[in-house]
Structure 1
Amino acid sequence: MTAARPAWLDRARDAILAADQGYFATFAPPPEGGQRSSVMILFGPSAGSAGGSGGTSVGGSAGSGEDVVLTERAHTLRTQPGDISFPGGKREPSDTSAAAAALRETQEEVGIDPATIDVVATLPDIYLSPRQFVVTPVLGWWREPGPLDAVDPVEVHRAVRAPLADLLDPAARFTVSHPSGYRGPGFEFDGLFVWGFTAGLLSAVLDFGGLTVPWDRSVERPLPDRYRPGGPQDALTKTATEGRA
């Protein structure tokens, strides 16, 4: 069953693309660029609502509204093992666009048929300087939800459909602190700790869409030990810290 795209998603797209250039300038790629990659920020009708089925519904009973597809990276990966991320990866020569790369990676990682996804917008590039990656976020609507699974166990430990009602709950939100001085938005649900690049992008889309519920930004939580300096997330933290300096 096809689900109609919610108005807030179009509102988020329009607001992001119309935002003052300074909002994105902090993370804009340098002239020489870097290795190209894409991530899919994919929203869909929550499991149990019209068109929703399959996958893991995080945080309890299904209901109306929307959810977002997130992955827990395989714990055996050399970089960012166990991190929570959006589906995505590097752009291949066969990919005709950043959106095509995001759609392909989403299918390969979690088994979602690209034909069931509407590409809502290709958002401005973000540069991750330590690894010299130019990441293009792609905003998508999963109009015909189906099964969701960790198709590629080498890359993905599990895939979840996280209801926005859970993510927007003020009790699930906090400010993440890092010994390097980094501070940024964080979410925690179903035992998963979301921070850094993924949390920042998700928080921005929710803000631009007008969905954010006021939450106490003074509530500060340190990173788990695995993200401490020298850990797998250290390079990403340095990127965010440098960009905000």
Structure 2
Amino acid sequence: MSDEIPEWLAPLAKRAASATARDFTRMPTPAGEGRASAVLVLFGDGPAGPDVLMLERAADMRNHAGQPAFPGGAADPGDADAVATALREANEEVGLDPASVTVLAELPKLWIPISRFVVTPVLAWWHAPHPVHPRQPAEVAHVARLPIAELCDPAHRLQVRHSSGWIGPAFDSQGLVVWGFTAGVLSALLDMGGWSRPWPRTRVAELDDRLRPVLVPPESPVPGPAAPPPADDVSGPLA
């Protein structure tokens, strides 16, 4: 596999092959429950170095409005497996050519109780990058390639807190605040790839009543007690 993918991606690909759900969440996936879905976690070599493909949901969607996410969605009856679902959804959402992608691994199925989805992240290498764009403007507002170096920069890391008390990791990159399920998966993969750097837990964005993070300047301390470490539960309040 290391001969087919760049050297920087090989450690993640090797580690992902033995990943378990416990690497991403403390929440067990119940057997025989939930709706099957998949997301494509697509790494590539971009203009600013290694990056990951991300989209931003349309601001007026009923669910997940304005949230950054991996391409993906619910399985269709005609999908052969999670890989087929992830690639089909990525093609429908952003025009990704499935032939440009090398699939590296199906990661463990992850349970999202609030939406009752069972999500399989599909790890992949974009061996032949090409322009992508929103193909469904009613669902996708923006497509971005977020640099790994920026995602790992402590200045671009923070936590997001929900009024319920849930708190989890987040990233502030290219004008997007990535949080919830997507940030949880991304944070775990950055750890597995050996790319993560120590970062302070004192920068916290509160979620407003529309579940949108309200950022504070990186240098501003968080009032009250220090925030706890990020939860390793990828579900979040609106994953």
TM-score, structure 1 as length reference? 0.81
In the alignment, what sits opposite 2:96?
Answer: 112
- 5+ unaligned residues in a row in structure 1: which ranges? 48-62, 229-235, 241-245
In the alignment, what sits opposite 1:237?
Answer: 236
Map 1:120-199 → 2, pairs under 5 A: 120-199=104-183
Q: CA deviation at 1:103?
A: 0.6
Q: CA deviation at 1:7?
A: 3.1
Q: Which has the higher contact order (CA 8 A, sep 6+)?
A: 1
Deviation sequence 1:50-99 (CA, Å, 0-9, x none) = xxxxxxxxxxxxx3x21111000011211011100000011111111100
Deviation sequence 1:93-130 (CA, Å, 0-9, x none) = 11111001101111111111000000010000001112
In the alignment, what sits opposite 1:220?
Answer: 204
Q: Kindly provide the amino acid, as one letter, of the partner of residue 23 in structure 1.
A: D
Q: Kindly provide the amino acid, as one letter, of the partner of residue 39 in structure 1.
A: V
For the 8 Å contact 2:82–2:106, the answer to whether it is kept is yes
In the alignment, what sits opposite 1:16?
Answer: 16
In the alignment, what sits opposite 2:32?
Answer: 32
Separation (CA, whole Å) in 2 of partners of 1:13 and 1:28: 24
Partner-residue secondary structure (3-state), 1:66? strand
TM-score, structure 2 as length reference? 0.83
For the 8 Å contact 2:150–2:156, the answer to whether it is kept is yes
Separation (CA, whole Å) in 2 of partners of 1:21 and 1:104: 24
Partner-residue secondary structure (3-state), 1:101? helix
For the 8 Å contact 1:8–1:211, the answer to whether it is kept is no
Partner-residue secondary structure (3-state), 2:73? strand
Q: CA deviation at 1:19?
A: 4.4
Separation (CA, whole Å) in 1 of partners of 2:21 and 2:93: 32
Q: CA deviation at 1:151?
A: 1.1
Percent identity between the aligned chains? 45
In the alignment, what sits opposite 2:231?
Answer: none
Q: CA deviation at 1:177?
A: 1.6
- 5+ unaligned residues in a row in structure 2: which ranges? 213-234
Q: CA RMSD in A?
A: 2.1
Separation (CA, whole Å) in 2 of partners of 1:21 and 1:85: 19
Question: Residue 21 and residue 188 in structure 1: after superposition, are their counterparts in 2 closer, same or farther (change >3 A)?
Answer: closer
More helix by share: 1
For the 8 Å contact 2:162–2:237, the answer to whether it is kept is no
Query: Is 1:102 paired with 2:75?
Result: no
In the alignment, what sits opposite 2:59?
Answer: 75
Partner-residue secondary structure (3-state), 2:43? strand
For the 8 Å contact 2:160–2:170, the answer to whether it is kept is yes
